[in-house]
Amino acid sequence: MYVKINYEEESNIVILSSSRIAGGIGRACRNTGVVAASNMAESGAELKREVMDAAARFADTPDLRSVLVTSVLNLEKLEYDLYRGKHHWVPRSQRLFGGQIVGQALVAAAKSVTDQLHAHSLHCYFVRAGDPKVPVLYQVERTRDGRSFCVRSVKAIQHGQPILICQASFHMSQPSPLEHQFTMPSVPPPEALLTVEELIQRYLSDPNVADVTKQGLNKILAEEVPIEIKPVNPPDFYRRVVMEPKKLFWVRAKGHIGEDDMKLHCCVAAYVSDYSLLPTALLPYPKYRAQFSASLDHAMWFHNTFRADQWMLYECESPWAGGSRGLVQGRMWRQDGVLAVSCAQEGVLRVKNTTQSKL
């Protein structure tokens, strides 16, 4: 199903492609065995009834559309350039997930520009912790409208005060003879790797895992994170070895988004980009754990088209840490080696030594 958001209208409009529905019905029929090519004697009426039943089951499948589209990034319009967002997943810190606020802010900004303009960069400052008990208001200011570029300023507000300030720039695609990029890291394909959930299940099956570690891993399993991750270099949960401040993992949104709305894919990527980014700076320090961590600012640059519901390689590395802060840079690569997104984030990292004696 193709999902199209009309950013000029008050509510989201969903356009369903009949060809995609037909393909989905065919898949559903094949999966449930209701269509057998060898059974040519089956009556037309019976076949029609079973196809319709399969189509109904296909339509009712809960994860056909990504929850990021149907819930997290589906803002309610309150007034001209004023929107309200709701929450889906709240981290164990009981503060709002920064990627959610960035993604929703970009959605609000994108609703004020034409279909010919697409996000090429955003710069955000997190100024207060988000409260998961109340919704977030997004106030858009149309800072500038040019012929090929336009800028939007967005304020995310709770309890009458801003929690995030975002500047997003949009532009009209223009051809250029200047074109280069870094080379994508050589890693195993996502099909050859395990998801985070599968890795945790493997760790939990080890009888040597401490009870406190099991409790922490089970808490991770219980979280309803709307993205799927396959680590390339998964952390060692027991030995706590020193690792290079670099992390590689395949990531995609759970559920279906479709390919016809690049603005929406950028908003999903903004949500995804904040997940597990800052902890990259802690990898060289196994003796320390974060007592308090929070994002300070977040920047993104969108280079090429991509689909956030297909696997992309997220390359995260921390070139610097100091002064209770850490800087992490990230790159999202399409499977064909094209650099799709770059990002950078600085955050607070206050740590404590886990090896110190309590005596």
What's 355's DSSP letter?
T
Q: Is 220 helix (H, G, I), strand (E, B) or coil?
A: helix
**Amino acid letter, 23:** G
Instruction: Return the closest-CA partner of residue 307 out of 335, 265, 276.
Output: 265
Instruction: Return the closest-CA partner of residue 329 out of 299, 288, 296.
Output: 299
What's 321's DSSP letter?
E
Contact 116, 172 (CB under 8 A): yes
**Amino acid letter, 332:** M
Distance between CA 330 and CA 309 in Å, rounded?
18
Q: Which of 100, 158, 167, 295 is catalytic?
A: 295
- For residue 311, give both structure tokens: 């696997």
Contact 256, 64 (CB under 8 A): yes
Active site residue 345: yes
- Given the structure tokens 């800072």, which residue do they identify? 143
As separate numbers, helices (DSSP H) first and strands (DSSP E) second, the chain gives 7, 12
Instruction: Provide the terminal-to-terminal Cα distance of the chain, rounded to the nearest Å.
Output: 61
Q: Which of 274, 276, 318, 342 is catalytic?
A: 274
Instruction: Return the closest-CA partner of residue 303 out of 192, 142, 182.
Output: 182
Active site residue 295: yes
Neighbours of 159 (CB within 10 A): 8
List active site positions.
274, 295, 345
